[in-house]
A and B are shown apart, each in its own frame.
Chain A
Amino acid sequence: MFCSMLQKVIDVIKRIVMTISSTSLLLFIYYINQNDDKRKIPFLSKYPAIVSCIFFAIVIVLFALVSLIVFLHFQKASIEGNIHNIEMVNNTFLPTYLGYFFVALSIQNLHALFIVYIIVCIFTYPSQSPYVNPLFLLFGYKFYYITTTKCKRVLIVSNRDKMSCDIIFPYLHRINSFTFIENCKEKKR
Chain B
Amino acid sequence: MNHVLAQVGKGKHNLQELISDIKIFDFPGDLENSIVYDPAYQLNEDEWFKIECFSKKSFSLDIVNTEYSSADYDAYCISGKGDEIEYLCSYQEMNEEKIWFFQRVTKTQFLKKCISFGGDGAKYVEGSKFIFIKETPDAIVLNDVLYFKNLASLFCIFKGIDQLYREATDIEVSSFLKSSFISMSNDYNSQKVKTANRKRIALAMDTLEKYGNKKEEIISYTHEYCPELEFKDNKFLIKSELDLKLLLWGIGQRFYTTPVTNEKVVAGSITALKNFIGKKE
Contacts and interface: CB of A to CB of B under 8 A. Distances in A.
Contacts, number: 65
Interface in B3-28: 3, 17, 19-21
Interface stretch (A33-41, A73-81, A91-99, A123-131): A73-81
A171 interface: yes
Nearest to B70: A77
Contacts of B1: 76-78, 80, 170-171
Contacts of A75: 17, 19-20, 75
A3 interface: yes
Given A78-B20, A170-B1, A189-B21, A177 B68 contact: no
Contact of A81 (B67, B75, B79): B67
Contacts of B75: 75, 174, 176-177
A134 to B, nearest CB: 24
Nearest to A171: B1
B79 A80 contact: no
B71 A148 contact: yes
- Pick the most buried of B3, B70, B77, B80: most chain A CB atoms within 10 A of its CB: B70
Contacts of B20: 75-78
A149 B69 CA distance: 10
Contacts of B71: 79, 146, 148, 152, 154, 180
B260 interface: no
B66 A172 contact: no
A76 B1 CA distance: 9
User: Would you call the interface of chain B mostly helix, strand, loop, or mixed?
Assistant: mixed
Contacts of A79: 68-71
A138 to B, nearest CB: 27
Contacts of A170: 1
A90 interface: no
Given A77-B17, A148-B69, 8 more contacts: A3-B78, A7-B77, A75-B20, A77-B1, A78-B69, A81-B66, A83-B69, A174-B17
Interface of A: 1, 3-4, 7, 75-83, 146, 148-150, 152, 154, 168, 170-172, 174, 176-177, 180, 189
30 contacts: A1-B80, A7-B78, A75-B75, A76-B1, A76-B20, A76-B21, A77-B1, A77-B3, A77-B17, A77-B20, A78-B3, A78-B20, A78-B69, A78-B70, A79-B68, A80-B69, A81-B67, A81-B68, A81-B69, A82-B66, A82-B72, A148-B71, A149-B66, A150-B72, A152-B72, A170-B1, A171-B1, A174-B70, A174-B75, A189-B21
